[in-house]
Amino acid sequence: MLAYLCWGLFAVIAVADWFAVGTGDRRTEAVVKPAALLALTTAALAGGAAEEPAGLWLVGALLLGTVGDVLLLESSERRFLGGLSAFLVGHLAYVVSFALLGLSASWWLAGGVVALALSGLVAQRVLLATWTAGGPALAVPVALYTAVIGAMLVTGFATEQPLVAAGATVFVVSDTVLALDRFARPARWRDPVPHVVVMVTYHLGQALIVLGVLAAL
């Protein structure tokens, strides 16, 4: 019962964040954005994540995501790099969690490589834009982050857990839209659509990962 209540709370807070982003309500967003990940962390714990090493690493990844959410509430380059660092370490925690579940070289892994190759087409455009905007001081951290989230994507597929693979893919979609919006925004994009897409895919991706890891424990 507690787990269901936690998942319900996460859903309510996540939707509230989507509306706050869509309406430009920054005050509400500052509260509900980190609260959503904390609620998801609570749901993971209620589902037994603390009982296994893979679950503990999952919780660590979610908490680091919460830190990243707080840092990214402001758009300065310093806060952006801080948030990027928090999420980078968080993705490494996801990789460890997935590895502890067990990784296999199979058609699942091949699917992850294909997904990585497709995301790499967009990553090239983003990395060129970051080099133009901030030189190596910006491009190198973004490149490192891109490599780490790519590892998270491939290992997610290698777990052969459908929910984990789907969640990792949706999470990459979220970060891809965020990177394009910030560094290489297509001319036809209009606010607040990309911002809402980022948050919807961000929450759904991590929720799927949590469900997949809990199911595998």
Q: How much is the pLDDT for 117?
A: 81
Return the residue matching tokens 């991706």: 205
- What six digits make up the tokens of 188? 């036809």
Between 121 and 79, the more confident residue is 79
Residue 147: band (very low, low, confident or very high) from pLDDT cuts 50, 70, 90: very high
Q: How much is the pLDDT for 9?
A: 97
Return the residue matching tokens 């609620």: 39
Range of the domain at 126: 2-216
Report the b/e string of 186-208 with b at 16+ CB within 10 A: eeeeeeeebbbbbbbbbbbbbbb
Return the residue matching tokens 């984990």: 164
pLDDT digits (tens, 9 = 90+) for 15-25: 999 999 999 99
Are residues 90 and 68 in contact, defined by beta-carbon separation less than 8 angstroms? Answer: yes
Q: How much is the pLDDT for 43?
A: 97
Neighbouring CB atoms inside 10 A of 212's CB total: 23
Residue 75: band (very low, low, confident or very high) from pLDDT cuts 50, 70, 90: confident
Cα separation, 142 vs 144, whole angstroms: 5
Q: Which of 84-98, 121-135, 137-151 has the lowest mean pLDDT?
A: 121-135
Report the b/e string of 73-90 with b at 16+ CB within 10 A: eeeeeeebbbbbbbbbbb
Q: Which of 63-77, 113-127, 172-186 has the lowest mean pLDDT?
A: 113-127
Q: How much is the pLDDT for 118?
A: 77
Residue 208: band (very low, low, confident or very high) from pLDDT cuts 50, 70, 90: very high
Q: How much is the pLDDT for 120?
A: 78
Q: How much is the pLDDT for 5?
A: 95
Residue 132: band (very low, low, confident or very high) from pLDDT cuts 50, 70, 90: confident
Cα separation, 117 vs 78, whole angstroms: 30
Mean pLDDT value across residues 127-142: 88
Q: How much is the pLDDT for 123?
A: 79
- What six digits make up the tokens of 163? 């929910």
Write down the pTM of the prediction: 0.94
Q: Which of 33, 9, 6 is nearest to 19 (CA)?
A: 33
* Number of domains into which the chain is organized: 1
Are residues 28 and 16 in contact, defined by beta-carbon separation less than 8 angstroms? Answer: yes
